[in-house]
């Protein structure tokens, strides 16, 4: 049932394949929304599901080019909701995993706009599953850590390298293509074996998916040679070696 406006849904669209949309998000896009504010990572396959009479606002951002700043996106959500509309803020993956969904939710709270969070399949789950990589596996990985490889321009990476260099843990690196060489070298320096299996996956779960497998010490060189493009997610850990058996 359509809520009484003003109302905002902050919804995850998954990593790209429209088949990974939740039923809730699908219904929001096709039956409920008056306005959809969407990210650059939303695939054409998903955008084509939205009826033509629904207003669509592109809020795409990348680390080098902002179509709308985060403050402008926040203001847009409030403005459109206050036009007595139901707004769907459509975000790639899951809105609460490196999606800045929390910031948008807090802004809605501050402006007294009712909202609901709709989770989505995150990139780590979707991309790993499509490549046959279990993020945890008995005897190989008892934990998973999600980290961001994106840093503010000019700032050094500040991570718990010693804690991350644990060969019983699977590391999933979001937005880390530009810093993959630095990430790999630091992990090896702090004790992670150089031959630890790794993979870089570009545009995972979509028809444009490309992947590069290599030992940790070679993954940056191989990914560069393969000319992988953003968005790219990297997975490092012994479980990556299972891809050849499970896929």
pTM: 0.93
Cβ-Cβ contacts under 8 Å for 230 (sequence gap 6 or more): 62, 175, 177, 202
Average pLDDT, the chain: 94
Cβ-Cβ contacts under 8 Å for 104 (sequence gap 6 or more): 10, 73, 74, 77, 89, 95
pLDDT of residue 165: 96
Tokens of 174: 């979001």
* Percent over 70 (pLDDT), the chain: 94
Q: Dump pLDDT digits (tens) for 103-151.
A: 999 999 999 999 999 999 999 999 999 999 999 999 999 999 999 986 6
Catalytically active residues are 39, 61
Alpha carbons within 13 angstroms on the beta-carbon side of residue 40 total: 12
* Residue scoring higher pLDDT (150 or 7): 7
Instruction: Assess whether pLDDT exceeds 60 at residue 154.
Output: no
C-alpha distances (whole Å) from 24 to each of 10, 12, 45, 49, 139 are 12, 10, 17, 14, 36
């Amino acid at each position: 049932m359509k809520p009484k406006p003003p109302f905002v849904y902050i919804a995850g669209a998954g990593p790209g394949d429209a088949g990974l949309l939740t039923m809730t998000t699908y219904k929001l896009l096709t039956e409920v929304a008056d306005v959809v504010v969407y990210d650059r990572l939303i695939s054409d396959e998903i955008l084509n599901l939205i009826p033509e009479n629904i207003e669509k606002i592109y809020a795409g951002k990348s680390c080098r080019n902002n179509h709308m700043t985060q403050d402008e996106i926040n203001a847009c959500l409030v403005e459109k909701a206050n036009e007595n509309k139901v707004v769907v803020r459509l975000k790639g993956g899951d809105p609460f995993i490196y999606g800045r969904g929390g910031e948008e939710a807090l802004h809605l709270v501050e402006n007294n706009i009712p909202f609901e969070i709709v989770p989505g399949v995150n990139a780590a789950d979707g991309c790993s599953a499509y490549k046959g990589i279990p993020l945890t596996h008995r005897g190989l990985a008892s934990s998973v850590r999600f980290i961001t490889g994106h840093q503010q321009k000019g700032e050094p990476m500040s991570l718990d390298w010693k804690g991350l260099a644990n060969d019983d843990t699977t590391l999933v690196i979001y937005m880390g293509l530009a810093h993959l060489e630095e990430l790999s070298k630091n992990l090896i320096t702090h004790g992670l074996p150089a031959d630890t299996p790794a993979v870089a996956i570009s545009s995972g779960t979509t028809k444009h998916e490309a992947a590069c497998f290599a030992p940790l010490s070679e993954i940056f060189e191989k990914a560069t040679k393969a000319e992988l493009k953003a968005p790219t997610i990297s997975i490092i850990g012994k479980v990556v070696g299972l891809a050849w058996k499970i896929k």
